[in-house]
Amino acid sequence: MLLKIIITIVYLAIVAFLGVIGYKNTKNTKDFLLGGRNIHPAIMALSYGATFISTSAIVGFGGTAGVFGFSLLWLTFLNIFLGVFIAFTVFGKRTRKMGHNIQAHTFPEFMGKRYESKLVQKFSGGMIFIFMPVYTAAVMIGASKFLETGFNMDYNVALLVFAAIVAAYVFFGGIKGVMYSDAFQGTIMLVGMTILLVTVYSKLGGVTEAHTKLTDLMKNAAVMEQTAGLAKGGFTGWTSMPEFFSKYWWIVVSSITLGVGIGVLAQPQLAVRFMTVKSDKELNRAIPIGGIFILLMTGVAFLVGSMSNIFFFEKTGKIAVAASGGTDGIIPNFLDSFMPEWFVAIFLIVLLAAGMSTISSQLHTVGTAVSRDLFNTEKMEEKKSMLISRLGVLVAIVMTIVLAYVLPTVWDGAIAISTGLFFGLCGASFLPMYVGALYFPKLSKTAALSGMFSGFGASLLWMMFFHSKESVVLKACQAIFGKPTLAPEGTMIQFVDPIVIALTLSILVTVIVGLATKSKYEQKHIDECFEGIGK
């Protein structure tokens, strides 16, 4: 316990110091919102990755890999290919340049100015204000629970302590405080996950030996008996994909791989980071750093989660999910049972860093949505604009704390549900409009709005009435129709992720309405948006 306390105090002291640096370097609104558009590429890349990867991602998806195995590595591939390479090269460069051209400081403001639509800006800002705190609260719940167990603290105390620390450097330091701290926390995460990977493979005799043991587990009669229920859903082993079009294939491919892998492209808190660097050269330099970060974060979590089955079976005779009492318990139980005490103390800080980095970025995004997009502080004097921006962050903090208290009592599995809900909504609502903003100069405002509204509506409806993961929890379908889902019994429809349906509809509506309507932009506006970009 003493080692945990010492390491935590040192960690928090460094975070506080970085917050002070961010505060001293935040002189105006542009600094608070975009870091003066002059953030170092390494800091930007680590901040991007640390914002993307949260405690719930490491623990939740690592535990999920304990059930589904190496098939989740397709999500790692998609996160690197789409979430870093495509995001930075296809989206990032144009977002950075266009954002500078039209003087946009937030993602909703970027969309609103590009389409010359206050409705686009306010709806996007309102959606962030209403739904992102639910996602933020989910991450805060996970981080607070680790404080609770790691330091034997009361959950309520852990929640308030965690929230107060994050709030301080976001409120005062703005995005500079957030990104400096993100970079430090991202470095801690890289070191911790690297040590974990090397240690696990060493204990299992190397890469080849470990993978062979994991494959051979399925030949054991006791394991086959324990996985009989999983096998009915299409499970074939931890080193292979589930059966094609089976229940678990749909969960792995649509809900996990596509839902998160595609949804990341339209995350407002990530997109705004493209506007914090000064040139395309900085974005190019950030790509390998971001790619390595995502590889080590998600890849290690999925590998360790999968291979934990070997450790648990050899010690207890049970597979990981059975020995841990559920997926969320696999990673914490594995660390406590099979890793040395000194590493558990360090990894506690890794998980705190993952949570703090994600939450701080989300709080900043919600706060700026309140001030810049809903209250339109663009034309206010500097001091008043900064004050409202900070008050917006304060509102976001209060909302998140309240939700972090309420959600665990209302929803079973609140962390996974909240995360999937926000990623799906963002992907379906924003992605077609975002692509249109960057690559189709004459896409009309009507088309952008139509695609956004149809994606948002379809995503919510599919969550409430068809996708069982959310519909069972939200209970709207049960209240109205007397059953948990409207999906026909015995079909795979209930396992098809909302983003598959809603994003497809949003794209179709955007294209059809775009072809049927004419834009009314003046040529001057088009030229301004695409100056230095090309059309």
Q: Tens digit of pLDDT for each residue in 188-221?
A: 989 999 999 999 999 999 999 999 999 999 999 9
328, pLDDT greater than 90: no
Residues 176/35, Cβ–Cβ less than 8 Å: yes
CA angle 318, 321, 327 (to 5 degrees): 165
Digit-coded pLDDT (tens) for 217-264: 999 999 999 999 999 999 999 999 999 989 899 989 988 888 778 888
In a domain, 341, yes or no: yes
Residue 467: inside a domain: yes
Instruction: Over range 458-465, report the average pLDDT.
Output: 93
Residue 534 lies in a domain: no
Task: Provide the pLDDT for residue 338.
Answer: 92
* Total domains, the chain: 1
Domain that holds residue 232: 2-529
Average pLDDT over the chain, rounded to whole? 86
Helix (H) or strand (E) holding 297: helix 280-316
Q: Is 473 domain-assigned?
A: yes
Lookup result for tokens 């639910």: 134
* Cβ-based neighbour number of residue 216 at 10 Å: 13
Asked, for residue 535, whether it belongs to a domain, the answer is no
385 within some domain: yes
Tally Cβ neighbours within 10 Å of residue 439.
14
Region of residue 381 (left: phi > 0; alpha: psi -120 to 50; beta: else): beta
Residue 34 has pLDDT above 80, yes or no: no
CA 90/CA 459 separation, integer angstroms: 25
Q: Is the residue at 378 inside a domain?
A: yes
pLDDT at residue number 51: 79
What confidence score (pLDDT) does residue 144 get?
Answer: 76
Residue 127: pLDDT over 70: yes
Asked whether residue 513 is domain-assigned, the answer is: yes
Residue 413 has pLDDT above 70, yes or no: no
* Domain of residue 162, CATH code: 1.20.1730.10
The rounded distance, in Å, linking the Cα atoms of 459 and 456 is: 5
Greatest Cα pair distance in the chain = 72
User: pLDDT tier at 302 (50, 70, 90 boundaries)?
Assistant: very high
Write down the pLDDT at residue 124: 94
DSSP state of 413: T
Q: Is the pLDDT of residue 517 over 70?
A: yes
Contact status, residue 86 vs residue 392, Cβ threshold 8 Å: no
Per-residue confidence (pLDDT) for residue 176, from 0 to 100: 74
b/e sequence 181-207, b meaning 16+ C-beta within 10 Å: bbbbbbebbbebbebbbeebbeebeee
Q: Which of 23-27, 181-185, 423-427, 458-462 has the lowest mean pLDDT?
A: 23-27
